[in-house]
Chain A
């Protein structure tokens, strides 16, 4: 009764969140559907990123808004991870992707590209005072950092003898120059300008390398929208608005001016760049000031924590229910089901959770199953942990002596009744400690759901760290929150362990020595108490 009530409540809560999420920014302009654009906005200045106060900004953000205005559509932003951007396009999460993607023949085979909206080059950065570099070849024998899946990476791979150090976050790459771990970093000029130039210990080194053109990506089947956007881009360039935007962001270079056939001088001061440097680079700020600065992030941290908790609790509920069924099938089921359940468990345990999550979110749409990110996240964690819970329960079931089931059967119970009233309740007590421990692991593994566009606590960490450039302070803060959330469950596990130690009456077979036998009473005599 109360159990089923709680379950209904949980399901309602899940649905409510899904509905609330889906309702976000659904309002279109004048009946036109919104123009949905996808980008990976963590650590993504100056393209599109969350600035102070958690407001989205960036030169790509402004370009998209300019384009949408030309088209008479309302832009709607959809967040995704960098690796998920193109799969999300095929999945229909958004109509287009704008995220500093270089137009290359290889990528053109996968997606449709708009005309270029920006042209730039690779910029090499080293520690201040490093001898000047003339060509890429002079990097031979050196450790050079860059980001995964970038044109800079492709460029470095063609140079013999360079040791490439791939990074996930540009800020970490640049910091490692200062830390002495790498010689330099090769990345797109806008990144170098925003992340390296303000740092007094770094400097641009060497000439512009190569030429890169950024394009907006569409699904191959969306030629009509691509054409429309191309026209809008042309108009934004022709009207001078593009030059204004890029000038304000300090990105109007001779190269891009030449490509757009416009004057080389910026049309206005680089005000956005200055603001960014002022608010983000805190080389002079004290640690205390930085920590105080995190106060503004508490809504983001709260949201992330709730998401983490929500995904974990629902994921674990699913894992427990499914794991229990799998264990029962594996131990007591007819042999075909035993085999199936073993296969499931082995496959799940033999493959990485991340791969499973990506298959569920990006793979299933290929066969027509599109899941809400929250559902995908919960399903991914739940299906994965079910395999581990099944093994816990199996061990628990097998730990119950055979005599228990025999006693139940001898008392006229059916096999099912024996399980229901005798074996399962006992095994539950055995598995409580490992299951609680697994929940704590799941809580930590739930950080992977940021890969399916959910903003959990780890997602929040990424966003804060890339806004404040402080992986250390914000990392400690987020770690503390994880600990805090996990603490009640750690306590529960300890409690369960100690209770089982005292309370698990090991099959009751061994005669206890707690009381002396009472004198036997003659038949028919009952003791009233």
Chain B
């Protein structure tokens, strides 16, 4: 299916409610392979919820999510049974990497183990093989000399880079980031953003919820602006900053311009 439409991510009419509050009000989005997409928007507009619906950490109420070749559909004629829905969600997670604002590294394991654990557990890869791959990935994010450390012994920037390496260990087709630099001291932000830039250069598809406007502007292929559960505007990075079409976008960006 990826091959059919060429998109690595296709979202149609995605809806999500918490109790009676509709948080996502029918989102449509298409992302092509290799794109780096920034998602911006005011606090509480549903950015995190949207990202979490993509890999099933939140269960959507309605809509279609086709991610890395796995199609999940809820409601409508082709809605999946609960069991099939869960099976596909699980399948999708193997191909989607996710990085959290709070890193969520496993504190009881070393950095190397953090990165090597999930391929062993979920894909039955041998420990030696998984650790070799982990060493390579940790080298890539510049943590070769911190592999035997525990997460608490690293700086925030190092922890977040380790978390990125951990997400990469499953060789995902697409990476999702939820405010990856918001918990970091300002001087540590760049080292994390740099990793994402490098991944972009390698051709990784990345979806980043961020408040780093400069990064969004400089690095993204395009920017998605969300407000109150809707995607209000999708545009080329420079255009959005210089000439936002929507009033809400203008208001939001006004603070940064």
Contacts and interface: CB of A to CB of B under 8 A. Distances in A.
A520 B104 contact: no
Interface in B154-187: 154-159, 166-167, 169-170, 183-185
B140 interface: yes
Given A520-B142, A526-B144, A529-B144, A509 B93 contact: no
Contacts of B169: 411
Interface in A394-433: 401, 403-404, 406-414, 417, 421-422, 425-426, 429
A505 interface: yes
A412 B107 contact: no
Contacts of A425: 108
Contact of A506 (B107, B117, B122, B166): B107
Given A409-B93, A411-B122, A505-B151, A422 B106 contact: yes
B145 A518 contact: yes
B167 to A, nearest CB: 7
A420 to B, nearest CB: 8
B159 A508 contact: yes
A129 B135 CA distance: 92
Contact of A529 (B57, B90, B136, B145): B145
Given A404-B104, A508-B152, A511-B184, A517 B158 contact: yes
B24 interface: no
Nearest to A425: B108
B118 A413 contact: yes
A508 B202 contact: no
Nearest to A528: B144
Nearest to B139: A526
A399 to B, nearest CB: 12
A505 B73 CA distance: 40
A266 to B, nearest CB: 78
A26 interface: no
B135 to A, nearest CB: 7
A525 interface: yes
A520 B191 contact: yes
A271 interface: no
- The winner among A411, A515, A518, A527 for most chain B CB atoms within 10 A is A411
B245 interface: no
B142 A519 contact: yes
B153 A512 contact: yes
A512 B122 contact: no
A411 B170 contact: yes
Contacts of B183: 509, 511
A520 B195 contact: yes
A401 to B, nearest CB: 8
Contact of B152 (A403, A506, A525, A527): A506
B103 A509 contact: yes
Interface residue range, chain A: 35 or more
Contacts of B106: 404, 407, 422, 426, 508
A505 B103 CA distance: 13
- The winner among B97, B146, B156 for most chain A CB atoms within 10 A is B156
B93 A412 contact: yes
A409 B104 contact: no
Interface residues of B, number: 54
Contacts of B103: 508-509
Interface in A359-413: 401, 403-404, 406-413
Residues of B contacting A: mostly:
helix
B185 A411 contact: no
A507 B100 contact: no
Interface in A490-529: 504-529
B98 interface: yes
A515 B111 CA distance: 15
A526 B142 CA distance: 8
A516 B50 CA distance: 34
Interface in A16-38: none
Contacts of B43: none
Contact of A410 (B93, B154, B157): B93
Contacts of A514: 152-155
Contacts of B102: 401, 403, 507, 509
A508 B107 contact: yes
B127 interface: no
A509 B104 contact: yes
B228 to A, nearest CB: 25
B13 interface: no
A416 to B, nearest CB: 10
Nearest to B185: A511
B150 A505 contact: yes
B94 interface: yes
A406 B100 contact: yes
A411 B114 CA distance: 11
Interface string B179-212: 0000111001001001100100110000000000
A519 to B, nearest CB: 7
A473 B28 CA distance: 84
B143 interface: yes
Contacts of B152: 505-506, 508, 510, 512, 514
B248 to A, nearest CB: 30
Given A407-B104, A409-B93, A410-B57, A527 B154 contact: no
B206 to A, nearest CB: 15
A426 B108 contact: yes
Nearest to B150: A505
B121 A508 contact: no
Contacts of B36: none
A401 B104 CA distance: 9
Nearest to B166: A411
B65 interface: no
Interface in B107-133: 107-108, 117-118, 121-123
Given A411-B93, A518-B145, 5 more contacts: A413-B121, A421-B121, A521-B139, A526-B136, A527-B139
Q: Which 3 A-B pairs have the closest CB atoms?
A: A511-B156, A527-B144, A526-B139
5 contacts: A401-B102, A411-B170, A507-B104, A509-B183, A528-B144
